[in-house]
Amino acid sequence: MNGQKLRILREFRNYSQAHIACKLGISQNAYSRIENNQTKLTTERLQKLADILGVPPEELLSEKDPIIHFSFSRYEALSGEKEERYQEMIENTRQHFTQVICSKDEKIAYLENEINTLRKERKKIIQMIERLTS
């Protein structure tokens, strides 16, 4: 099970961890452990999670990148209005992924800054210890 894939599929559908946890009948912390690969799923819970996310259970077990499914009824002709609606859905999805990527980029920049700050603090502490021991 790939927790990263679960998170991507959950975020794609704009579901919170709490929402998924509620649907599964577990706590948000328990679901978080699933996404962090700290908990194994039963077959029953795997099926329920797949149903919630709208993907086959095999998709959740696969190590490949998630496939986002868009489906059109084979009997439905795309009228101009429906085509516009699908285009709008696609654009909304693109915007969502752009926001997710920007959010991740911001988080990376923040964490890099934190790492640099901690390195400087560590260096200062080491210098202080060296002064005290000399």
48-92 per-position pLDDT tens digit:
999 998 888 888 887 776 555 555 444 344 455 667 777 888 888
- Output the pLDDT for position 77: 45
Give the domain ranges of the chain: 3-61, 77-134
- What pTM was computed for the model? 0.49
Domain 3-61 has CATH 1.10.260.40: yes
Residue type, 105: D
Tell me the C-alpha distance between 26 and 23, whole Å: 8
Q: Which two tokens stand for residue 2?
A: 């790939």
